[in-house]
Amino acid sequence: MAIVLALFSALCYGVSDFVGGLVSRRVSAWAVAVVGQSSAVICTAVAAVFAAGTASGADFAWAALGGIGSGVGTGFLYRGFSSGRMAVVAPISAVGSAFVPVLAGFAGGERPGALVWLGIVLAGPAIWLVSATPSRVGRSRAVFAAGAVDGVLAGLGLGGLLAALGQIPDGAGLWPLTLTQLVTVPTLVAVATMLRASWVPRSRAVRPALLTGPLGAAATLLFLLAAQRGYLTITGVLASLYPAATVLLAARVLKEHVHRAQALGLVMCAVSVTLVVAG
């Protein structure tokens, strides 16, 4: 069940990124992020009202830490994208978001079997290849170095979100998750302000970004449930396979070309999941 929930979480994250990417072609990606996260807060709060559970102070502390990680990770991810360094930032951040929860789970005493470890190790290059975009930008050392910084910070932030959520136990209810979504919004605004980026949603064209809220809320909820029912080392990696869903949607809906490296990455993602399930 944990594996199934984590994979559905990846699917929701991937669809959310796809929708957000479409809207970002017309308005500021920062405004899209703020609107989407604000919508996610409302969706999660409504679900929390009907979810039973009692959370401790430690649960809320982990939730707040996850929200900070989410805001910081998203902020530096967007900075890298807006600076034209997507080919560098995307794969580094995606791999980082996968392996931070793996390290957290291992430090917490989790010890998956050999086949599972093989699947986890294979997931790293698989996510890299799926996220990679052919571009000449990577040929410049200066641009690569700047993109690597954004990618590492984004990966640490988004991976920190997954690792923090993995510390919230079953029975805590959904108010901690609501706090995570809530903290993400001011953190995102703070990062945008620090980077002097426009985040205020002034155009009506940003309204479709509201759709990313339910998708993002569902993705985070599914991951929380997955982490509560299985190893963080496994669920963190599987949830980080979300770029595969985004690439497949872009190919199907927008007729975007899937280059050879991405196709190889998609195959490796499938093999990685198979190994994890078999283990």
Question: What is the tens place of the pLDDT at every residue in 13-63?
Answer: 888 888 887 887 788 778 888 998 899 999 999 999 998 888 999 999 999
Which pLDDT score, from 0 to 100, does residue 87 have? 61
71-85, 88-102, 139-153, 214-228: the lowest-pLDDT one: 139-153
Q: In whole angstroms, give the CA distance from residue 102 to residue 96.
A: 10
Query: According to the model, what pLDDT value does residue 140 have?
Result: 58
Question: What's the domain count of the chain?
Answer: 1
Q: What are the pLDDT digits (tens) for 164-203? A: 999 999 889 999 999 999 999 999 999 888 888 888 888 8
Q: How many CB atoms lie within 10 A of CB 107?
A: 11
CA distances from 51 to 37, 44, 170, 172 (A): 20, 10, 12, 9
Structural domain including 85 reads: 2-278
> CA 156 to CA 94: how far, in whole Å?
10
Give the pair of three-digit tokens for residue 87. Answer: 């080919």
Dihedral sign (CA 176, 178, 181, 186) = negative
Residue with tokens 């605004």: 189
- Other Cβ atoms less than 10 A from the Cβ of 48: the count is 18
3-state secondary structure of 80: helix
Q: Are 63 and 168 in contact (CB under 8 A)?
A: yes
CA distance 217 to 39: 9
Res 135 pLDDT > 60 = no
Residue 251: how many other CB atoms lie within 10 Å? 15
Report the sign of the C-alpha dihedral through residues 136, 268, 213, 249, in that order: positive
